[in-house]
Amino acid sequence: MKMRKDYQQLSARFKNHQVLVIGDFMLDAYFEGSCTRVAPEAPVPVIDIHHKHYCLGGAANVAANLCAMGCEVIFCTVIGSDEHGEMGRQLLIKAGLPDRLVISDLQRTTLLKTRISTPRQTLLRYDEGTITPLTADTETIYLDHIKYVYDQCDAIIIADYGKGIITSGVINCLGNLKAGKQKIIAVDSKRIEAFSGLKPDLIKPNYEEAIKLLGLSFEADHRKAQLRPYGQELFRLGQAKVTALTLDSEGSMLFNGADCVYESVAPAVMSRQQVSGAGDTYISAALLALLSGATMEQLAELATMAASIGIEKEHTSICTLSELQEVYGEADKFMVSATLVRETFKKYKAQGKRIVFTNGCFDILHSGHVSYLHQAKQLGDILVVGLNKDESIRRLKGNNRPVNTLPNRTAVLAALACVDHVIPFGSVKDDTPISLLKMIQPDVFVKGGDYENRLLPEAETLRKLGCEIAFLPYVSNQSTTEVISRMDDQARRKLSLLN
């Protein structure tokens, strides 16, 4: 990664800015379940829903990304006066976003996108909510909110999804405000030509939007070559100082006016079947980079990296400042970003390092653990400890565990010289380290001798990776459960003496 320190210093300046986000509020819902039968009344699958997850979408996801990246956010939108609107308010507050400029309209229902899936695929998405333009009365209130906060912000992001919030009145209002006082304006919209009168500082069409605007045919590959000659036409349509053209796995292209000045390459990421909002993450990071004095190259690289970090996660894409800085920092022992994990271990492989992986809860670190980890390190060059998250331990061992939280367990493990990296894992879907193993591709997988005659859930993955499995001697009377049991016995004895 080029000039890591420069990128770290640049992203550290994100917190110095205040951004106004205006646009369509959406709620994203993910219903996950299993399918084992067909409905008797029609030839359709029956999905037994096991898990429901709601998160901020649309302009709210842009606001959440900006907030997560450290800047101060003013969010101005309209929702319905309904159950989903109230849920959205609660999610905004949880994300650290004030809802004082969120208007509840009795005549609208909140936009909700619901995705229904099984572990293998997304089966259905259905949308509900009002998508007609704001009424005259609501638009007046909305414009008053925008006028009230315009002077307080350094920049504005218009997150327009064509759902009725960004009306011609809103665009005209911003034009009048900008004529009186210049502000940085970024636009993410399928209809960039509608905002050309604002002469935006930044617009972000994606590939599908760009070819539709330009009247071109879809190409699966070589998208940069296809669109490189069209800088002048994109500039004519959008009138933007900078056009960031996002191209999915091909990265992005940056046009300064009509000239293509930089092309970024997207880092390799794991495929996620249920991720939305990568464009929201991209434009959020791109605007903050622009505000922080980034060059075109830095803007493109930061925004591409932020989007890559976001899509490594399940559901709607979010990148935090700490994750972004972690990627551009020196590889620390504790690693969270999947992108950083993949890049770091790719480098180790290129250096010919022998990677050893083990995993566990390591709740109360005792001499048995220390002996085991020292032996594991002797099997290679790099020792990685996959560490179950707190929620994962509760699912596996009950609500009274862990005794020590993830930050405490991480700090103790990281203090051991034999441990090179500690990486947390575990989700509702999978409490095994299989996803980590696929990313890291270790040479040796280590377990305690007490696992030698058990069926390992990781076995098939390890076989495919060509990874050696090593079992180390089990230290008797040194399990965490036995340590806790002895502590409980001592506490009971002391209590009996007091009584």
- CATH number for the domain that contains residue 138: 3.40.1190.20
Would you place residue 268 in the very low, low, confident or very high pLDDT band (cuts 50, 70, 90)? low
For residue 125, tell me if it sits in a domain. Answer: yes
pLDDT number for residue 499: 57
**pLDDT tens digits for 7-50?**
888 999 999 999 999 999 999 999 989 988 999 999 888 999 98
Which segment of 41-50, 99-108, 267-276, 482-491 scores lowest on mean pLDDT?
482-491
Domain that holds residue 99: 4-328
pLDDT number for residue 144: 97
The stretch 420-435 carries a mean pLDDT of 91
Higher per-residue pLDDT: 357 or 267:
357
228 in the same domain as 210: yes
Question: Domain boundary residue among 294, 328, 362?
Answer: 328
Alpha carbon separation from 211 to 105, 196, 234, 303 (Å, rounded): 36, 18, 10, 22
Q: Which residues are catalytic?
A: 280
395 in the same domain as 309: no
Please tell me the total count of domains within the chain. 2
Nearest to 260 by CA among 291, 293, 290, 233: 233
pTM: 0.74
Residue 405 CB coordination number (10 Å): 12
351 in the same domain as 301: no
**C-alpha to C-alpha distance for 143 and 149, rounded to whole angstroms:** 10
Amino acid at 147: K
For residue 450, tell me if it sits in a domain. Answer: yes
**pLDDT tens digits for 192-216?**
999 999 999 999 999 999 999 999 9
Question: Domain boundary residue among 281, 296, 328?
Answer: 328
For residue 76, tell me if it sits in a domain. Answer: yes
Give the helix ranges, DSSP H, for 337-445: 338-350, 367-377, 390-397, 406-414, 434-440
- CATH number for the domain that contains residue 383: 3.40.50.620
For residue 314, tell me if it sits in a domain. Answer: yes
For residue 497, tell me if it sits in a domain. Answer: no
For residue 426, tell me if it sits in a domain. Answer: yes
The stretch 370-388 carries a mean pLDDT of 94
The stretch 408-416 carries a mean pLDDT of 88
HSE toward the beta carbon, residue 246, CA cutoff 13 A: 26
Question: Domain boundary residue among 270, 293, 328?
Answer: 328
138 in the same domain as 192: yes
Strands annotated E in 224-372: 242-246, 252-256, 259-264, 275-276, 315-316, 355-360
412 in the same domain as 285: no
- State yes or no: pLDDT of 290 exceeds 70: yes
373 in the same domain as 290: no
**C-alpha to C-alpha distance for 362 and 365, rounded to whole angstroms:** 6
251 in the same domain as 377: no
